[in-house]
Amino acid sequence: MRETLLLVADYREIPLKRLIQLGEEIFGLSPRTIRNHLSKTVTASFKLKLPKFKKEFKFKVFPVGFYERRKGEKIVYFIDHVPIRQAIIYLASVALLSLTAIMLILRGDLSRAMWAILAILISALGPAIVSFLAYCVRCAENIPDNKVTCIIKYRERKKDIIIRAGFRRGTRLSEVKEYAIREIASRRGRPLRGDHHLLFIGEDGRGVKVNEVKRLYSLDGQVLHFELVSSRKLSKRSPQKTFNLFEECS
């Protein structure tokens, strides 16, 4: 469930065929498992301080829609990540109501302007509730956000260069390393020479050599710490402090 949620939340809206392909390639999920995840429902209950008052309702975590422009292909999106077309329609309607309210206020028709403002508040109530429910689902699955912040440190003599950037969770670690190399070279005013490796800094402070073909999905955490080290310096480190994180976790 968490893996499917990561993929869908990262791409915002994604064709079902593409989702199944990525699920198999990255996490080894079967098409049947992914389809079972897409039919997942969550039960929410509300209780008030009234005798015998309890309201429960179910909602789907992954709505599935159909787009005519994609020849009826199924598009999967997370509960609060509505497709772009629907989002544009909603924003356009809110903008129209806001413009109407302003024009009525300028005309001095405050009573009708209040109805327009009330319509705006009511239209915003639904998305607010859905966003709260989505937040609860993400917290339950330990996915607070769609992006992860990477902090990369490069040590040169006695000076540390620190790069901070946000990446999609589907970003390969090699892309993170390439980005860090470009930014560090820009700050130094000259390019880095030789080969460099990306080390993942764990909670114990040790640098762990990672498989750069893998993606950020494989690492848990909202903020990930890395260190960029040249091959020459890496060879001088203790072998106990450099091992393949993904092989150890498998």
Q: Which residues pair with 224 in a beta bridge?
A: 150
pLDDT value at 175 more than 90: yes
Residues 13 and 131 in one domain: yes
Amino acid at 114: M
Q: Determine, yes or no, domain membership for 208.
A: yes
Q: Determine, yes or no, domain membership for 35.
A: yes
Q: Determine, yes or no, domain membership for 100.
A: no
Residues 128 and 221 in one domain: no
pLDDT value at 239 more than 80: no
* From 7-21, 48-62, 87-101, the region with the lowest mean pLDDT: 48-62
Instruction: Label residue 137 by pLDDT band (50, 70, 90).
Output: confident
d(CA 209, CA 174): 12
Residue that is written with structure tokens 């593409």 in the block:
18
43: left (phi over 0), alpha (psi -120 to 50) or beta: beta
Q: Which domain, by its residues, includes 10?
A: 1-83+120-144
Number of domains in the chain: 2
Task: Say what the pLDDT of residue 93 is.
Answer: 87
Q: Determine, yes or no, domain membership for 166.
A: yes
Residues 128 and 213 in one domain: no
Residues 135 and 206 in one domain: no
pTM assigned to the model:
0.69
Residues 126 and 28 in one domain: yes
Residues 14 and 127 in one domain: yes
d(CA 148, CA 212): 16
